[in-house]
């Protein structure tokens, strides 16, 4: 009886805990368009990236050969990935009312386009794109980059 | 037999060589700064070997793991457009924006703004999967707290109506600015129709 109660209590804690984690994890953006084959890796799971796929911090987005992908982040940053591109949303904080904004993207390889959103406007030094060949500091702008480590 | 094997090996080496060469030619990392709405921002490209700033449209720097970012060169826009077209066409299109107005102390739309609602529905449906942001504002009549609430109610009322009209945006942000960001600045406690509004951005 006592043991059942303890198990029930633990189970409740676990359910409450995971519900809390879900709430804390708000979307960072979505896949706006896809051509060809593209995937999102999250917590060791690999899922096809389809139009409307909601993205979270930590997601790794990869495109296949001849694939391309359009991404819109919550702060209105627009991204596009060309073929054979591997990118991860390392950090995305957009709480402008609390003065908390910042973004770190990691591009391991590939070809991408970028148009900055509100984070770069609010805090120009808080946007960084890390790659194996260089770090890009972005001050409100539009650019393309090819990363071939 | 041996000769045949040698031939194959030689061919193999040639192929490897060709691959290595083409690999080298393609394996150049770079950044190109582009114009955006007539403005040009700035990108700083930094690695262990050095740093370069791009601050003019169509400037390019090349870099490598152990190669410092090169001195920026000015590109001919037409010469690179084809190379960049695959990533440029995949970028989400610029958003459409709407401005809706409200009567004093109300979350209903003014008769002038009412016909804009179907327009918003149309663009949400055209742009699926869509993102919408709705920012509610008020005039300066009433307290900060009251207007913060009214601004939020305005934003949520618009969202509810858009949903009832059959739209289902994937990403939704509703925000209230209360009376803190008037379109027309007025003294406190001043009714001003142009400040009682919701700003809507559809991507």
Whether the predicted pLDDT of A74 surpasses 80: yes
Question: Is B46 within 8 Å of A51 when comparing Cβ atoms?
Answer: no
> For residue B6, what pLDDT is reported?
52
A–B interface: beta-carbon pairs under 8 A: 141
Interface predicted TM-score (ipTM): 0.83
Look up residue A101 and give its DSSP letter: E
Instruction: Over range A15-21, report the average pLDDT.
Output: 43
**Calpha distance B51→B70 (Å, rounded):** 9
Residues of chain B with pLDDT under 70: 1-27
Chain A residue numbers with beta carbons less than 8 Å from the beta carbon of B72 are: none
> For residue A15, what pLDDT is reported?
44
For A20-61, give the DSSP string. Answer: HHHHH----EEEEEEES-EEEEETTEEEE--TTPEE-TT-EE
User: What Cα–Cα distance (Å) separates residue A45 from each residue in A39, A42, A138, B156?
Assistant: 10, 5, 31, 35
Chain B residue numbers with beta carbons less than 8 Å from the beta carbon of A61 are: none
**Calpha distance A92→A104 (Å, rounded):** 7
Contacts of residue B135, Cβ cutoff 8 Å, sequence gap at least 6: B151, B155, B174, B175, B176, B177, B198, B199, B200
Question: Is B86 within 8 Å of A82 when comparing Cβ atoms?
Answer: yes
Read off the pLDDT of residues B125-154 as tens digits, 9 standing for 90 and up: 999 999 999 999 999 999 999 999 999 999
Instruction: Over range A3-28, report the average pLDDT.
Output: 53
Q: How many CB atoms lie within 10 A of CB A114?
A: 27
Instruction: Over range A87-107, report the average pLDDT.
Output: 94
């Amino acid at each position: 009886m006592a043991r059942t109660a303890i198990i029930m209590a633990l189970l409740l804690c676990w359910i409450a805990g995971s519900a809390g984690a879900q709430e804390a994890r708000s979307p960072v953006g979505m896949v706006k368009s896809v051509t060809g084959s593209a995937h999102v890796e999250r917590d060791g799971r690999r899922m096809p990236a389809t139009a409307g796929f909601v993205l979270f911090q930590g997601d790794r987005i990869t495109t296949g050969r001849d694939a391309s992908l359009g991404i819109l982040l919550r702060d209105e940053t627009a991204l596009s990935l060309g073929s054979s591109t591997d990118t991860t949303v390392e950090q995305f904080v957009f709480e402008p009312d609390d003065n908390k904004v910042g973004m770190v993207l990691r591009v391991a390889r590939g070809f991408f386009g970028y148009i900055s959103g509100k984070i770069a406007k609010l805090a120009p030094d808080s946007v960084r794109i890390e790659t194996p060949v260089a770090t890009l500091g972005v001050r409100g702008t539009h650019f393309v980059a090819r990363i071939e480590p | 037999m041996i000769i045949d094997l040698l031939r194959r090996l030689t061919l193999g080496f040639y192929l490897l060589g060709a691959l290595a060469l083409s690999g080298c030619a393609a394996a150049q990392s770079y950044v190109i700064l582009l114009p955006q709405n007539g403005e040009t921002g700035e990108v700083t490209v930094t690695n262990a070997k050095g740093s370069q700033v791009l601050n003019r449209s169509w400037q390019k720097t090349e870099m490598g793991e152990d190669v410092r970012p090169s001195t920026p060169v000015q590109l001919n826009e037409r010469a690179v457009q084809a190379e960049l077209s695959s990533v440029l066409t995949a970028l989400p299109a610029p958003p459409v924006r709407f401005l809706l107005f409200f009567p004093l102390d109300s979350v209903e739309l003014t008769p002038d703004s009412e016909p804009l609602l179907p327009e918003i529905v149309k663009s949400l449906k055209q742009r699926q999967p869509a993102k919408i942001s709705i920012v509610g504002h008020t005039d300066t009549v009433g307290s900060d707290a009251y207007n913060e609430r009214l601004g939020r109610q305005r934003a949520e009322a618009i969202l509810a109506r858009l949903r009832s009209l059959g739209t289902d945006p994937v990403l939704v942000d509703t925000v209230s600015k209360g009376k803190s960001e008037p379109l027309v600045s007025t003294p406190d406690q001043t009714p001003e129709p142009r400040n009682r509004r919701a700003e809507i951005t559809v991507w």
